[in-house]
Amino acid sequence: MAPASDATLGETGEFGLISQLVDIFEGDEHVLVGPGDDAAVLRIKHGHVVVSTDLMVEGRHFRRDWADAADVGHRAAAQNLSDINAMGGTGRHLTIGLAAPADLPVAWALDFARGFSEECALVGATVVGGDVTRADELVIAVTVIGQCTQAPVLRSGARPGDVLALTGRQGWAAGGLAVLGRGFRSPRVLVEAYRRPEPPYAAGREAAEAGATSLIDVSDGLLSEAGHIAEASGVAVDVRRGAFEIPEPLQAVGAALGADPMQFILTGGDDHSLLATFPDTASVPAGWQVVGEVLEGEGVTVDGAAYDGPTGWTHF
Amino acid sequence: MAPASDATLGETGEFGLISQLVDIFEGDEHVLVGPGDDAAVLRIKHGHVVVSTDLMVEGRHFRRDWADAADVGHRAAAQNLSDINAMGGTGRHLTIGLAAPADLPVAWALDFARGFSEECALVGATVVGGDVTRADELVIAVTVIGQCTQAPVLRSGARPGDVLALTGRQGWAAGGLAVLGRGFRSPRVLVEAYRRPEPPYAAGREAAEAGATSLIDVSDGLLSEAGHIAEASGVAVDVRRGAFEIPEPLQAVGAALGADPMQFILTGGDDHSLLATFPDTASVPAGWQVVGEVLEGEGVTVDGAAYDGPTGWTHF
């Protein structure tokens, strides 16, 4: 590998850069949690304020021929609101930056905004600001500010002996994306799951109140996110295939595309399901499913063995 | 003009779109000021929290051959911190979204981050989060969260009879940009003014405490920003050429490029000077210069007459 000073982003990847960036940005006494978790946590007077930001790039995170403008709006909002959900909080206020080619139809931007706004309304959040500028590529930059009524749940609190649990649809959006990638439009339920994810917005706070020791949303892939918990907590995480029932549409897609449907569940993102660890099975709230356990060690295994293949989406 | 539903962004422009967008995004009782001013104002428990977001696109808002990475970092931070300054507040916490080509040197990103962080330190602000993803174009999306210790000063409070006043360098960055655009690197003081603006960070709060009736930062051009005050306040603004002393470097650049140096002052952005209205000359704080007046009517004039030419930067 080239020395860091000569390396390109394509070589170090997103996480290689981020680990160097966090060293540059020092916090202050109002920053309870800085970069590195789902959202930053700020102490502003008496409350915990959580902040997160995400980029979506056309052709990479969305395609205008695979989802209409309102769908893209729903997805963009959902992705950001989910980061606050993954802290045990609720999104309150959002800003949108829209860098767009001059030939982008205004109707697209307005439909995007309507979809975005509708998704925000699901949790009572509102758009409070934005910026619009010209670019060759369509890039959407969203920042969300949320509130936690209790201590935010970080990625770093998992302990050996904890159970790993999941809530929300998992693998559906990845199945929908695979279908779209082959030029199909069905099973419709999966395509719709990709176009309009349904994050379990109430579940983050429920997990926090139930004593979750760590919490993350599955944006990039279940095994990938489990790996973030393992790394931040200094533990190993084992995921059990047998814990998952493969939904019928994913079975159908697997058969049609010659793919293992379990792969959608283990490595799919975009559903914004929540993954958490709890001290024991008894503390897992209703609606959550135990899917593995926390062990001493490091890294992520599936049924006790290394997983062969990519564990999720990478941004470079 | 085509009906809105068929129009492109190139046809309506930034402001045409924004005016339609703000109708879509409804606020709630915690949003004291929504989109449309320099920053949104939120009531979070006891304080006024102000939020603003800005995009910078390579080739449009910066060029890597005209400014080094640290310079671009300083500019990106300054531009956003200035929006909070323009509310009478102080920037506290920022997020950065970086969409970048895979061949972007990591060293560039790190130097950018260092410059950004140094600029933030000038006001005691810190970076609390971010996102990095791949794109064909280099796009930088910054969101800043700030605090106002008094009521934020909006664009909409100017009244006929008020005086218009300015603080900070004005036209220097535009002069530097003109020089760079012709392939020159001097006068160095102007090129540096473009690369590292020096917004008058203390002046926003001072203006608020002195009773400013409206306040805005000059990002896109003095006449353009005066126009925003005029429109938001429902008044006319007249700017007096004679109020400005043309600094020697701008005279030199005007002579060298065959340009009227007053044009840099009237239509230049990027210095992030502050433009405000005050009830009378006596209330204008030290360090501010009276440059015009507020009248009944609408629009912006220069010495009582319409200004012939573009009044500032447009994003489409």
pLDDT at A159 over 80: yes
A–B CB contacts, 8 A cutoff, strictly below: 298
At residue A286 the predicted structure's pLDDT band, cuts being 50, 70 and 90, is: very high
At residue B5 the predicted structure's pLDDT band, cuts being 50, 70 and 90, is: low
The mean pLDDT of B94-98, rounded to a whole number, is 92
Amino acid at A143: T
Alpha carbon of A249: minimum distance to chain B alpha carbons (Å): 31
Contact A102 B10 (CB under 8 A): yes
Torsion of CA A276, A277, A278, A280, to 10 degrees: 130
Q: Name the residue among A311, A145, A146 with its Cα closest to residue A228.
A: A311
Per-residue pLDDT, A115 = 94
In percent, the amount of chain A with pLDDT more than 70 equals: 91
Per-residue pLDDT, B150 = 86
Sign of torsion over alpha carbons B231, B224, B263, B82: positive
- Region B163-302: CATH code: 3.90.650.10
Average model confidence (pLDDT) across chain B: 90
pLDDT at B264 over 90: yes
User: Closest partner residue to A106 among B12, B130, B147, by Cβ?
Assistant: B12
Per-residue pLDDT, A129 = 85
Per-residue pLDDT, B112 = 93
pLDDT at A4 over 60: no
pLDDT at B87 over 60: yes
Q: Where are the alpha helices (DSSP H) in chain B?
A: 9-24, 69-85, 106-121, 172-181, 188-195, 203-209, 222-233, 248-257, 261-267
User: Closest partner residue to B40 among A16, A102, A128, by Cβ?
Assistant: A128
CB A141 within 8 A of CB B129: no
Provide the 10 A C-beta neighbour count for residue A43. Answer: 12
d(C-alpha B239, C-alpha B292), whole Å: 4
Per-residue pLDDT, B42 = 72
Residue of A nearest to B140 (CA): A141
Contact A96 B53 (CB under 8 A): yes
Q: Name the residue among B156, B158, B37 with its Cα closest to residue B87.
A: B37
Minimum mean pLDDT range among A52-56, A213-217, A306-310, B4-8: B4-8
B-chain residues near A49 (CB < 8 A):
44, 49
Q: How many CA atoms lie within 13 A of B260 on its CB side?
A: 8
Contact A130 B24 (CB under 8 A): no
Minimum mean pLDDT range among A32-46, B84-98, B170-184: A32-46
Q: Which residues contact B100 (CB under 8 A, 6 or more apart)?
A: A9, B109, B132, B133, B134, B135, B138, B139
Amino acid at B283: S
The mean pLDDT of B253-278, rounded to a whole number, is 94
pLDDT at A1 over 50: no
Cis ω for the linkage preceding B35 (within 30 of 0)? no
Q: Which residues contact A305 (CB under 8 A, 6 or more apart)?
A: none
Residue of A nearest to B95 (CA): A53
Quote the distance between the C-alpha of residue B166 and its chain's center. Answer: 13
3-state secondary structure A245-290: CCCHHHHHHHHHHCCCHHHHHHHCCCCCEEEEEECCHHHCCCCCEE
Provide the 10 A C-beta neighbour count for residue B19. Answer: 12
C-alpha distances (whole Å) from A159 to each of A109, A153, A229, B228 are 45, 14, 10, 55
Per-residue pLDDT, B17 = 72
Select the highest-mean-pLDDT range: A104-118, A301-315, B2-16.
A104-118
Amino acid at B10: G
Q: Report the complex ipTM.
A: 0.88
CB A242 within 8 A of CB A234: no
Per-residue pLDDT, B1 = 38
Amino acid at B274: L
Per-residue pLDDT, B157 = 95
Question: A24-83 pLDDT, tens per residue?
Answer: 766 667 777 766 667 777 766 656 788 999 999 999 999 999 999 999 999 999 999 999
B-chain residues near A139 (CB < 8 A):
55, 99, 135, 137, 139, 141
- Binding annotation of A: 38, 52-54, 61, 83, 130-131, 155, 217, 219-220, 270, 313
pLDDT at A2 over 70: no
pLDDT at B2 over 50: no
Contact A101 B9 (CB under 8 A): yes
pLDDT at B14 over 90: no
**CB environment A238-273: b (16+ within 10 A), e (fewer):** bbeeeebeebebbebbbeebeeebebbbbbbbbbbb
B-chain residues near A129 (CB < 8 A):
34-35, 39-40, 51-53
In percent, the amount of chain A with pLDDT more than 90 equals: 71
pLDDT at A214 over 80: yes
CB A16 within 8 A of CB A315: no
Average model confidence (pLDDT) across chain A: 90
A-chain residues near B111 (CB < 8 A):
none
In 3-state terms, what secondary structure has residue A294?
strand
Residue A186 in tokens: 């069905």
Per-residue pLDDT, A3 = 42
- A272 φψ region: left (φ > 0), alpha (ψ -120 to 50), beta (else): left
Contact A9 B134 (CB under 8 A): yes
The mean pLDDT of B86-112, rounded to a whole number, is 92
User: Closest partner residue to B17 among A42, A109, A124, by Cβ?
Assistant: A109
At residue B23 the predicted structure's pLDDT band, cuts being 50, 70 and 90, is: confident
The mean pLDDT of B151-172, rounded to a whole number, is 96
Per-residue pLDDT, A19 = 75
Sign of torsion over alpha carbons A168, A169, A171, A176: negative
User: Closest partner residue to B129 among A53, A99, A101, by Cβ?
Assistant: A53
In 3-state terms, what secondary structure has residue B164?
strand
Sketch the domain layout of chain A as residue ranges.
Answer: 36-148, 163-302
The mean pLDDT of B91-98, rounded to a whole number, is 91
β-bridge partners, B105? A8
d(C-alpha A12, C-alpha A106), whole Å: 37
* Per-residue DSSP letter, A135: -
Burial label for B59, CB within 10 Å (0-12, 13-18, 19+), is exposed
C-alpha distances (whole Å) from B153 to each of B198, B202, B288 are 21, 14, 16
Contact B133 A57 (CB under 8 A): yes
Q: Most B CBs within 10 Å: which of A38, A74, A82, A93, as the mutation test of the B interface?
A: A93
Alpha carbon of B148: minimum distance to chain A alpha carbons (Å): 12
Q: Most B CBs within 10 Å: which of A15, A20, A21, as the mutation test of the B interface?
A: A21
CB B55 within 8 A of CB A57: no
Per-residue pLDDT, B243 = 97
pLDDT at A125 over 50: yes
Select the highest-mean-pLDDT range: A166-175, A301-310, B10-19.
A166-175
Name residue, tokens 């920022």.
B94
d(C-alpha A172, C-alpha A189), whole Å: 8
Give the fold, CATH level 3, of B36-148: 60s Ribosomal Protein L30; Chain: A; (3.30.1330)
Q: Name the residue among B137, B114, B143 with its Cα closest to residue B64.
A: B137
Contact A26 B117 (CB under 8 A): yes
